[in-house]
Amino acid sequence: METIVKRRIKQVIKGDQDAYGEIVELYRDKVFQLCYRMLGDRHEAEDIAQEAFIRAFININSFNQNLKFSSWIYRIATNLCIDRIRKKKPDYFLDAEVPGTEGLTMYSQISSDTVLPEDELESLELQDEVQKEISKLPEKYRMAIVLKYIEELSLNEISEILDLPLGTVKTRIHRGREALRQQLKNV
Give the residues lining the site for other proteins (CB under 8 A): 13-15, 17, 20-21, 24-25, 28-29, 31-33, 36-37, 42, 46, 49-50, 53-54, 57-58, 126-127, 130-131, 133-134, 145, 149-150, 155, 170, 173-174, 177-178, 180-181, 183-185, 187
Query: Which of residues 53 and 72 has its CB atom nearest to other proteins in the complex?
Result: 53
Exposure of 56 by Cβ count < 10 A (0-12 exposed, 13-18 middle, 19+ buried)? buried
Cβ count within 10 A of residue 107: 18
Q: Smallest distance from the beta carbon of 96 to other proteins, in angstroms?
A: 24
Cβ count within 10 A of residue 176: 22
Q: How many residues are there in the chain?
A: 187
Q: DSSP state, 105?
A: B
Q: Smallest distance from the beta carbon of 35 to other proteins, in angstroms?
A: 9
Judge contact between 82 and 139, C-beta under 8 A. yes
CA dihedral 53, 54, 57, 62 (to 10 degrees): -90
Query: Which of residues 15 and 100 has its CB atom nearest to other proteins in the complex?
Result: 15
Q: Smallest distance from the beta carbon of 65 to other proteins, in angstroms?
A: 17
Q: Smallest distance from the beta carbon of 22 to other proteins, in angstroms?
A: 9
Query: Which of residues 98 and 135 has its CB atom nearest to other proteins in the complex?
Result: 135
Query: Which of residues 61 and 92 has its CB atom nearest to other proteins in the complex?
Result: 61
Judge contact between 106 and 93, C-beta under 8 A. yes
Distance of alpha carbon 40 from alpha carbon 131, whole angstroms: 7
Q: Smallest distance from the beta carbon of 90 to other proteins, in angstroms?
A: 27
